[in-house]
């Protein structure tokens, strides 16, 4: 058998390929035990659901209700706002969003959003890897804690931050002694924003990491890759779309956060006033058009985010 | 292959591993001769995959040492053990092309680009995937993916190649072809190879040496013929092929001679059922003396014709002269 030449081996492989369905970029082997091997695994929401057994009228009613609901709840208010924003002409809108306090609020909001998104991307990746790859004491507790920001009112988050970092809080005094003011200052806003956006990246990454499993990383180890090489060459490329989606969601959420920021920011005009705070302030000051103008900026950013997500999403299917 | 792989042996001594209360490996010693193709054979959950993963460093043993190529590897992380590992479910890097998959081990070692290209093409040729170099793993069939995984594992010239149920996820026909191919590939490459399987036919056909593992212990080590002809115990005998019992003794159903007339040492029996499966006939017999014990014999259609066997035909049987027999345990 040792005398066989390489050509013999190759010939045999040709035979195997014919049996194995090679050449066709065809479907997976039948009976592939884990559907994660790149096959056409149907994902929920991706495949067209079978038509309901109900008759035409049922479908039409359902469709009307769904569309009507979205129109009344989302589209109508936004459309009315749009009319109000540009009702006084483009000049009034531009003047309103380029006013000094508006510019400051836009810059502050963007700065805060970027910082908390960076923090939560790093933390989210670390937490998601921890949850999916390791079994440790307190794992389920961590998993549950990550969801707390979604279930708790943002106002409570803000109040809790004041209890910890406020003047009479646990660390507040010590931090003030070294010249760091957290509450009524940018760091507090970043903390509050990070709190409310904390689960978004983690929740996007965990299912994808679970689907990938451990073997890819172990294969990387056996092939001589160190932890950084495995992270940069294997893990991050595998989760890049989920990560991008989580980042965009976090960004949109961070820009719009009102409750938690309202509590810790103190709403100091031109200093700790983010876009949502300014919009609310203008509204209470009876500058309705000004409030709608700054709201429009936020809506525009949010819509842009959704568009980006919509473009990203199909690419998740490789 | 042009670049002669360094042949290296593996020694594992006193390996124990528990998962909670479950004892996966119980003080196992293993010696894999260099340049050979060794099978770890046993039932699922017997500990063979755990042993392979401990050799690779993907799991750590509770006790014991692992020596690869004369070097103590017990405390080395897998990335420094210079082993190639092939997973049952391929563990393909789905976002990388076939070329980049195979190149991975060389890229992380920062080898020169030209060297990587040459080496990868050489390996793709070896596993006959050259024309698929730019495809993604998802565009390959299962057998092709596993060959890619094999090329990837061989790329950085490992000291040993470890395969964990490499053909377990493939369908029967492809599995058989690939195992023949693995045997020939090994004859070409000569890298010390250990592969885990629960398929005794696969182990008997492919390997130079078989290590039978069950309940976390090594039951027997030997060449395929050794194990088949001289099984150390009932477990090994039963695991390596069909068995039946005559006079309390365990033996293979093809090791029972059947006669139409009484002969020295025979016992009388009667045919209860004849079932033909391809080229073999399975004859269920019942003894007509003593305790009316039932057993079965593997015959060829020719033998059935010569003996003129049918249901209720009386026959005389005795173990064949060179039969592998496990005597009943003394209680």
Query: How confident is the model over A126-135, as pLDDT tens digits?
Result: 999 999 998 8
* Closest chain A residue to the Cα of B160, Cα to Cα: A222
CA distance A275 to A178: 30
* Closest chain A residue to the Cα of B105, Cα to Cα: A223
Put simply, the answer to whether A218 touches B141 (Cβ < 8 Å) is: no
Contact between residue B32 and residue B188 where contact means Cβ atoms under 8 Å apart = no
In the block, tokens 């005559």 appear at B246
CA distance B98 to B196: 25
Q: A 68-107 residues with CB below 8 A of B?
A: none
From chain A, the residues in CB contact with B68 under 8 A are: none
Between the CA atoms of B177, B178, B184 and B189, what dihedral angle is there, to the nearest 10 degrees? 170
Identity of the residue in A1, A222, A225 whose CB atom sits nearest the CB atom of B83: A222
Q: What are the Cα distances from residue B222, in Å, to A207, B143, B216, B231?
A: 46, 29, 18, 9
Q: Sign of dihedral through CA atoms B293, B294, B299, B302? A: positive
Minimal CA separation from B40 to chain A, in Å: 20
From chain A, the residues in CB contact with B128 under 8 A are: 9-10, 13-14, 17
Interface contact B115, partner A, CB < 8 A: no
Q: Percentage of residues in chain A with pLDDT exceeding 90? A: 29
Put simply, the answer to whether B79 touches A238 (Cβ < 8 Å) is: no
Between the CA atoms of A86, A89, A91 and A92, what dihedral angle is there, to the nearest 10 degrees? -60
Put simply, the answer to whether A39 touches B91 (Cβ < 8 Å) is: no
Interface contact A33, partner B, CB < 8 A: yes
From chain B, the residues in CB contact with A233 under 8 A are: 104, 107-108
Identity of the residue in B77, B141, B153 whose CB atom sits nearest the CB atom of A22: B141
CA distance B281 to B258: 13
If you ran DSSP here, which 8-state letter would residue A28 be given? P
Q: B 180-209 residues with CB below 8 A of A?
A: 180-181, 183-185, 187-188
Interface contact B316, partner A, CB < 8 A: no
pLDDT score of B125: 92
Q: How many CB pairs under 8 A join A and B?
A: 153
CA distance A250 to A255: 9
Q: Tell which residue, A167, A184, A185, has the closest CA to residue A176.
A: A167
Q: Is pLDDT at A32 greater than 80 in this prediction?
A: no
pLDDT digits (tens, 9 = 90+) for B98-146: 999 999 999 999 999 999 999 999 999 989 999 999 999 999 999 999 9
CA distance A246 to B310: 73
From chain A, the residues in CB contact with B157 under 8 A are: none
- CATH 2.40.50.140 fits domain B244-326: yes
CB atoms within 10 A of CB A314: 9
Topology match between the domains B10-236 and B244-326: no
Tell me, letter by letter, the H, E, C secondary structure of A135-159.
CCCCHHHHHHHCCHHHHCCHHHHHH
**Helices marked H in A134-258:** 139-145, 148-151, 154-165, 172-177, 186-212, 215-222, 227-230, 236-256
CA distance B275 to B284: 8
Put simply, the answer to whether B142 touches A29 (Cβ < 8 Å) is: yes
In which order are the strands placed within the sheet that holds B160-164?
A: B83-86, B160-164, B192-197, B37-41, B209-214, B217-222
Put simply, the answer to whether A223 touches B139 (Cβ < 8 Å) is: no
- Candidate CATH numbers 3.90.190.20, 3.40.50.300, 1.10.260.40, 2.50.20.10; the one for domain B10-236: 3.40.50.300
Angle of CA points B96, A247, A81, to nearest 5°: 135
Put simply, the answer to whether B169 touches A38 (Cβ < 8 Å) is: no
Put simply, the answer to whether B177 touches A4 (Cβ < 8 Å) is: no
Give the residue, A49 or A80, on which the prediction is more confident.
A80
Identity of the residue in A28, A224, A237 whose CB atom sits nearest the CB atom of B109: A224
Return the residue in A219, A229, A316, A317 with the most chain B beta carbons within 10 A, the one to mutate for interface testing.
A219
From chain B, the residues in CB contact with A22 under 8 A are: 140-141, 143-144
CB atoms within 10 A of CB B83: 30
Minimal CA separation from A219 to chain B, in Å: 6
Minimal CA separation from B76 to chain A, in Å: 11
Q: Tell which residue, A122, A231, A126, has the closest CA to residue B108.
A: A231
CA distance B322 to A264: 90
CA distance B211 to B51: 11
In the block, tokens 């005794």 appear at B200
CA distance A162 to A183: 7
**Per-residue confidence in pLDDT tens, chain B, 331 aa:** 333 334 468 999 999 999 989 999 999 999 998 999 999 999 988 899 999 999 999 999 999 999 999 899 999 999 899 999 999 999 999 999 999 999 999 999 999 999 999 999 999 998 999 999 999 999 999 999 999 999 999 998 999 999 999 988 888 888 888 888 889 889 888 899 999 999 999 999 999 999 999 999 999 999 999 999 999 999 999 999 899 998 888 999 999 999 999 889 899 999 999 998 888 999 999 999 888 889 999 999 999 999 999 999 999 999 998 888 888 776 5
pLDDT digits (tens, 9 = 90+) for A214-244: 999 999 999 999 999 999 999 999 998 889 8
Angle of CA points A145, A254, A180, to nearest 5°: 80
> Domain boundaries in chain A?
59-316
Give phi and psi for B26, each to the nearest 5: -125, 95
Contact between residue B93 and residue B101 where contact means Cβ atoms under 8 Å apart = yes
Q: A 105-124 residues with CB below 8 A of B?
A: none
For A179, left (φ over 0), alpha (ψ -120 to 50), or beta? Answer: left
CB atoms within 10 A of CB A234: 23
Angle of CA points B329, B330, B331, to nearest 5°: 110
Minimal CA separation from A21 to chain B, in Å: 7
Rg (CA), chain B: 24
pLDDT score of B51: 95
Identity of the residue in B87, B156, B188 whose CB atom sits nearest the CB atom of A215: B87
Task: With 0.80 as the threshold, say if the pTM is over it.
Answer: no
Between the CA atoms of A121, A124, A130 and A136, what dihedral angle is there, to the nearest 10 degrees? 150
pLDDT score of A34: 40
Minimal CA separation from B198 to chain A, in Å: 16
From chain A, the residues in CB contact with B135 under 8 A are: 25
CA distance B184 to B180: 7
Tell me, letter by letter, the H, E, C secondary structure of B157-176.
CCCEEEEECCCCCCCHHHHH
CA distance B131 to B124: 9
For A252, left (φ over 0), alpha (ψ -120 to 50), or beta? Answer: alpha
pLDDT class of A25 with cuts at 50, 70, 90: very low
Identity of the residue in A34, A220, A318 whose CB atom sits nearest the CB atom of B138: A318
Tell me, letter by letter, the H, E, C secondary structure of chain B.
CCCCCCCCCEEEEEEEEEECCEEEEEEEEEEECCCCEEEEECCCCCCHHHHHHHHHCCCCCCEEEEEECCEECCCCCHHHCCEEEECCCCCCCCCCCHHHHHHHHHHCCCCCHHHHHHHHHHHHHHCCCHHHCCCCHHHCCHHHHHHHHHHHHHHCCCCEEEEECCCCCCCHHHHHHHHHHHHHHHHHHCCEEEEEECCHHHHHHHCCEEEEEECCEEEEEECHHHHHHCCCCHHHHHHHCCCEEECCEEECHHHEEEECCCCCCCEEEEEEEEEEECCEEEEEEEECCCCCCEEEEEECHHHHHHHCCCCCCEEEEEECCCCCEECCCCC
Identity of the residue in A16, A219, A220 whose CB atom sits nearest the CB atom of B181: A16
From chain B, the residues in CB contact with A220 under 8 A are: 93, 104, 108
Which value does ipTM take for this structure?
A: 0.83
Q: Which fold has domain A59-316?
A: MetI-like fold (1.10.3720)
Q: A 214-273 residues with CB below 8 A of B?
A: 215-216, 218-226, 229, 233-234, 237-238
CA distance A195 to A183: 14
* Closest chain B residue to the Cα of A316, Cα to Cα: B95
Interface contact A318, partner B, CB < 8 A: yes
Put simply, the answer to whether A218 touches B58 (Cβ < 8 Å) is: yes
Residues 6+ apart with CB under 8 A from A272: A108, A184, A185, A186, A188, A189, A265, A266
Q: Across the strands, what pairs with B72?
A: B67
What number of helices (H) and strands (E) belong to chain A? 16, 0
pLDDT score of B17: 94
β-bridge pairing B192-197 and B160-164: parallel
């Amino acid at each position: 058998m040792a005398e066989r030449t390489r050509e013999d081996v190759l010939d045999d492989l040709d035979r195997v390929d014919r049996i194995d369905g090679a050449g066709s970029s065809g479907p997976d082997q039948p009976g592939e035990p884990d559907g994660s091997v790149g096959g056409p695994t149907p994902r929920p929401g991706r495949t067209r659901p079978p038509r309901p057994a109900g008759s035409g009228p049922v479908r039409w009613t359902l469709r009307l209700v769904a569309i009507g609901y979205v129109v009344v709840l989302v589209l109508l208010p936004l459309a009315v706002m749009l009319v109000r924003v540009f009702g006084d002409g483009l000049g009034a809108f531009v003047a309103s969003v380029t006013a000094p306090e508006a510019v400051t609020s836009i810059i502050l909001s963007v700065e805060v959003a970027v910082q908390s998104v960076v923090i939560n991307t790093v933390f989210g990746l670390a937490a998601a890897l921890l949850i999916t790859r390791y079994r440790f004491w307190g794992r389920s507790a961590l998993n549950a804690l990550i969801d707390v920001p979604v279930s708790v009112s943002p106002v409570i988050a803000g109040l809790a931050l004041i209890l910890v970092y406020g003047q009479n809080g646990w660390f507040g005094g010590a931090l003030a002694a070294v010249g760091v003011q957290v509450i009524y200052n940018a760091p507090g806003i970043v903390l509050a924003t990070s709190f409310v956006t904390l689960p978004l990246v983690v929740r996007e990454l965990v299912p994808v990491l679970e689907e990938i499993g451990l073997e890819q990383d172990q294969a990387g180890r056996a092939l001589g890759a160190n932890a950084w090489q495995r992270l940069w060459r294997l893990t991050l490329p595998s989760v890049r779309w989920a990560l991008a989606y989580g980042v965009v969601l976090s960004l949109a959420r961070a820009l719009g956060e009102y409750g938690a920021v309202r509590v810790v920011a103190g709403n100091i005009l031109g200093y700790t006033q983010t876009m949502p705070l300014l919009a609310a302030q203008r509204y209470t000051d009876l500058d309705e058009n000004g409030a709608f103008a700054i709201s429009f900026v936020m809506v525009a950013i949010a819509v842009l985010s959704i568009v980006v997500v919509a473009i990203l999403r199909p690419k998740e299917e490789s | 292959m042009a670049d002669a792989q360094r042949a290296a042996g593996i020694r594992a001594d006193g390996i124990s591993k528990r998962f909670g209360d479950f004892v996966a490996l119980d003080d196992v010693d293993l010696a894999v001769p260099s340049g050979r193709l060794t099978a770890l054979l046993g039932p699922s959950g017997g500990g063979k995959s755990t042993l392979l993963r401990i050799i690779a460093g993907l799991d750590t043993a509770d006790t014991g040492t692992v020596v690869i190529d004369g070097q103590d590897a017990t405390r080395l992380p897998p990335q420094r053990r210079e082993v190639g590992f092939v997973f049952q479910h391929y563990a393909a890097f789905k976002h990388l092309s076939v070329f980049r998959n195979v190149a991975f081990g060389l890229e992380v070692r920062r080898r020169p680009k030209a060297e990587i290209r040459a080496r990868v093409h050489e390996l793709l040729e070896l596993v006959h995937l050259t024309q698929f170099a730019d495809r993604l793993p998802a565009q390959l069939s299962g057998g092709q993916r596993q060959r890619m995984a094999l090329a990837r594992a061989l790329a950085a010239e490992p000291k040993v190649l470890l395969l964990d149920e490499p053909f377990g996820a493939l369908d029967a026909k492809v599995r058989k072809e690939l195992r023949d191919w693995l045997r020939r590939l090994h004859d070409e490459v000569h890298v010390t190879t250990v592969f885990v399987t629960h398929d005794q036919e696969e182990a008997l056909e492919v390997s130079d040496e078989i290590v039978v593992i069950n309940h976390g212990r090594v039951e027997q080590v030997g060449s395929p013929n050794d194990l088949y002809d001289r099984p150390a115990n009932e477990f090994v005998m039963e695991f390596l092929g069909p068995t039946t019992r005559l006079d309390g003794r365990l033996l293979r159903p093809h090791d029972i001679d059947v006669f139409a007339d009484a002969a020295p040492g025979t016992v009388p029996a009667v045919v209860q059922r004849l079932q033909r499966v391809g080229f073999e006939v399975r004859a269920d017999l019942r003894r007509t003396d003593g305790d009316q014990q039932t057993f079965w014999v593997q015959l060829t259609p020719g033998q059935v014709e010569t003996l003129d066997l049918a249901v209720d035909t009386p026959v005389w049987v005795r173990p064949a002269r060179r039969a592998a027999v496990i005597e009943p345990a003394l209680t």
